[in-house]
């Protein structure tokens, strides 16, 4: 009898230890840009030390990250596709969207710029010139936030891209930049990934600055109502931390070649605090 009681007690302690260990793991589905830029490697260790959670990062396109959240395969998502994020929340897959940071998209291409993009005044005009000149363009073609932005720009330009000049890669941003460089082609990239890769690329920025190229990032906890077993506590802890002033300062300080990659945008961010002071 004592042996049985001892065995049950040991088993209970073992299961309790396993459960606690699982609860300390937080699954974050996010975009390739946050990974490729080096931001998460720079940012998350501070959260892990402070919170005790171990963050497992799954870097994929925004579309896939949101699907993972809806399937209960992630506890939280950090993505950059506002319309898709709204649908994610409306469908009951995620809770409230929290602004974290923003950067912008740029169009990069061959140094000789055969389509003449440097002469135009808008992103849609740039795409029209690429299509009219039949210059090669490499699309991510992977339902990522960057791909969604690109498709929206083609639509605004009144163009359905197709033909030999338009290549869909189905790859992440780093691979697409490599392919575009090898093919002397144009592509659209987030600025953070471009800054991380430009030293080894023969391409250059040929168009930037249009307000439609703004690129906001949000963090969303997967809803516990749909998946009671997800790590909601860890997700809430990460949201509180990354939208807090200390983490927002870290985001503002993250640079490559002395260039700031992301602008903090949370309500408690450095930028919003400065704006409030100036009023």
Instruction: Give the model confidence (pLDDT) of 16-67 as tens digits.
Output: 334 444 569 999 999 988 988 999 999 999 999 999 999 999 999 999 999 9
3-state secondary structure 84-147: HHHHHHHCCCEEEEEEEEEEEEEEEECCCCCCCHHHCCCHHHHHHHHHHHCCCEEECCCCCHHH
Residue 105 predicted with pLDDT over 70 = yes
Burial pattern 240-265, b for ≥16 Cβ within 10 A else e, equals ebbbeeebbebbbebeeeeebbbbbb
Position 274 scores a pLDDT of: 52
Position 212 scores a pLDDT of: 96
3-state secondary structure of 215: strand
Instruction: Give the model confidence (pLDDT) of 22-34 as tens digits.
Output: 569 999 999 988 9
Q: Return d(Cα 217, Cα 33) in angstroms, integer.
A: 11
Nearest Cα neighbor of 63 from 97, 36, 32 is 32
Instruction: Give the model confidence (pLDDT) of 135-171 as tens digits.
Output: 999 999 999 999 999 999 999 999 999 999 999 999 9
Residue 277 predicted with pLDDT over 90 = no
What are φ and ψ of residue 154, in 5° steps? -60, -40
Q: Return d(Cα 191, Cα 124) in angstroms, integer.
A: 18
> Does the pTM exceed 0.75?
yes
Q: Return d(Cα 81, Cα 140) in angstroms, integer.
A: 15
Mean pLDDT over each residue of the chain, to the nearest integer: 89
Position 272 scores a pLDDT of: 58
Position 81 scores a pLDDT of: 94
């Amino acid at each position: 009898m004592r042996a049985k009681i001892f065995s049950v007690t040991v088993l209970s302690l073992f299961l309790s230890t396993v459960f606690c260990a699982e609860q300390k793991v937080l699954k974050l589905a996010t975009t390739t840009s946050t990974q490729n830029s080096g931001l998460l490697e720079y940012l998350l260790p501070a959260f892990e030390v402070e919170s005790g959670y171990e963050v497992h990062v799954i870097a994929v396109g925004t579309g896939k990250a949101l699907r993972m959240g809806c399937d209960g395969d992630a506890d939280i998502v950090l993505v950059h596709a506002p319309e898709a994020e709204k649908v994610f929340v409306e469908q009951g897959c995620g809770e409230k969207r929290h602004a974290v940071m923003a950067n912008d998209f740029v169009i990069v291409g061959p140094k000789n710029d055969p389509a003449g993009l440097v002469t135009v005044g808008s992103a849609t005009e740039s795409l029209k010139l690429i299509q009219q000149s039949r210059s090669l363009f490499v699309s991510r073609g992977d339902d990522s936030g960057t791909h969604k932005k690109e498709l929206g720009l083609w639509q605004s330009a009144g163009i359905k891209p197709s033909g030999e000049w338009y290549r869909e890669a189905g790859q992440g941003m780093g691979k697409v930049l490599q392919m575009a460089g090898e093919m002397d082609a144009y592509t659209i990239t987030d600025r953070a990934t471009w800054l991380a890769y430009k030293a080894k690329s023969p391409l250059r920025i040929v168009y930037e600055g249009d307000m439609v190229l703004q690129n906001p990032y949000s963090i969303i906890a997967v809803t516990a109502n749909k998946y009671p077993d997800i790590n909601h506590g860890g997700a809430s802890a990460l949201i509180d931390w990354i939208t807090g002033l200390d983490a927002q300062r870290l985001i503002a300080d993250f640079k490559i070649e002395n260039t700031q990659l992301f602008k903090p945008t949370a309500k408690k961010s450095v930028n919003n605090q400065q704006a409030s002071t100036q009023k």
